[in-house]
Structure 1
Amino acid sequence: MPDKLGEMLAVATAIPALAAAVVFWLRFATREVKGPVGAAVKTASTGLLAVLGLALAVALSPGGWFWLFALGLALGALGDLMLALGGLRRFLAGVAAFGLGHLAYAGGFLWQGAALGFDGLSLPEGLALGGLLALLASTEVWLAPRTGELRAPVRGYVGLIGLMGAATLMLPAHPGQGILRIGAALFLLSDLLLALQLFVVRDAGWRRRLALTLWPAYWAGQALILWGAVQFAGVG
């Protein structure tokens, strides 16, 4: 993909994706029922990122690690669609899609990290890993007892979140390292806020605040993961 053409295509895809994300945040994020228009806008905001990720995978890493990031974005868009449509079966399908997306990201982090050479964990990274494990363990206290018949899939999803977070902390030093870690942290934060909204918080006002906070954290996390992957590919 020629540099100028690639930049133009990236901008032409990223701007509508951001616009759709903002529209969803302003018009649909706090609605319990998103409706077909809300579902379409939500899916477009991440689906366009997935399209950009696929184009970049073809250009930057044919047959290589970047495809896992494109796959993670595509699975995220599918998860967005399922959750926006509503219903228990679609919710479970969405959880499965997001979980597989976390797994794809973890695979991409580990694949590229191995190619560049792992450099071990520093003290701050070790402390961050310990904090992540403590957070995951704490879900058995404040989250699992409230999930009812969804306890098993929620536990599985928590484990996949942890795998992605741990894989991010293992990334070797690189200009894209910080961007990827911020993106993964925002994605994890959005999952935490969503868990609070779905299973813990009952006050309508606080549920609205959580919805308004988790959506920009989630979308920005996805976008930063893509941007960080591009940096790891040595572009930009």
Structure 2
Amino acid sequence: MSLLTDPLFLIAAALAALYLLRFAAAMESWPKTVTKTLSVLLLAVIALRAGAPVLLSLGLMLGALGDFCLSRPGRGMFLAGMAGFAAGHLAYLALFLVLGAGAPPLLPTLALLLGAAAAVLWIAPRAEGMVVPVRGYIVVIAAMALAALGLSGAPRLVLGALVFVASDFVLALQRFVLAPGRGAQAAAYLVWALYWPAQVLILAGGLLP
């Protein structure tokens, strides 16, 4: 069954659209949490139902856990959400290695490493009290993206990983750099507009040849 005709996927897409339109820049609330979490958790259910690689399903489930935590207030929940996503990236990294990821091409590798270095040196120091975990997270997501770049014949997985990196970069800007206002609100919308499609691309790449 195509994702575009799968009832569960259509429900997940409707929830993702609702989150973008109603909750992306809104204050924390339980409706926001439920909408955000279910839109990704349903992707994990689709992967499990289709018999996808366990690492793919695990990565999506950990993403849903990260979404739950990040949608709740407080620094502790933010750190828990970051840990959930880091674990999800490690699951994706392992998946890409199992799928035969080799050495990534030079120029994309250099661009990714430069972006990661900029995040480590410029953004992470602004994360007051969270510099070490933020830097650790940057290393993990960069490793996941490098593994994706080493895949051949898997454009959805490569694109999904890179869009995921872009989403997290914008999230870091929103969280640690931008002052409250229209810029931060626009960033919140952009984060979701990148993140959910990134998870869908990774799901599709793991299900389809």
TM-score bracket, shorter-length normalisation: over 0.9
Question: 1:14 touches 1:49 (CA, 8 Å); kept in 2?
Answer: yes
Q: Distance in 2 between matches of 1:89 and 1:203?
A: 21
Unaligned runs of 5+ in 1: 1-5, 61-65
* Cα RMSD (Å): 1.7
Question: Is 2:35 aligned against 1:41?
Answer: yes
TM score, norm. by length of structure 1: 0.84
Q: Which runs of 4+ in 1 moved over 4 A?
A: 6-10
Q: Give 1:140 shift.
A: 3.0
Q: Distance in 2 between matches of 1:27 and 1:108?
A: 34
What is the 5 A alignment of 1:110-121?
A: 110-113=97-100, 118=102, 120-121=103-104
What is the 5 A alignment of 1:180-195?
A: 180-195=157-172
Structure 1 residue aligned with 2:83:
96
What is the percentage of aligned positions where both structures have the same residue? 39
Question: Is 2:61 aligned against 1:52?
Answer: no
Question: 2:36 touches 2:67 (CA, 8 Å); kept in 1?
Answer: yes
For residues 149-199 of structure 1, what are the alpha-carbon distances to aligned partners after superposition, in whole Å with 9 as ceiling and x for unaligned?
A: 100110110011111011001112x2xx11111111111111000000000
Structure 2 residue aligned with 1:226:
203
Question: 2:90 touches 2:140 (CA, 8 Å); kept in 1?
Answer: yes
Question: 2:120 touches 2:138 (CA, 8 Å); kept in 1?
Answer: no
Unaligned runs of 5+ in 2: none
Q: Max radius of gyration: which structure?
A: 1
Question: 2:3 touches 2:9 (CA, 8 Å); kept in 1?
Answer: no
What is the 5 A alignment of 1:70-219?
A: 70-113=57-100, 118=102, 120-121=103-104, 125-172=105-152, 174=153, 177-219=154-196
Q: Distance in 1 between matches of 2:28 and 2:56?
A: 27
Q: Distance in 2 between matches of 1:171 and 1:7?
A: 23
TM score, norm. by length of structure 2: 0.95
Q: How many pairs were matched up?
A: 209
Change (3 A) 1:23 1:92: same
Opposite residue 35 of structure 2, the aligned amino acid is V
Question: 1:10 touches 1:52 (CA, 8 Å); kept in 2?
Answer: no
Q: Give 1:9 shift.
A: 11
Q: Distance in 2 between matches of 1:211 and 1:224?
A: 20
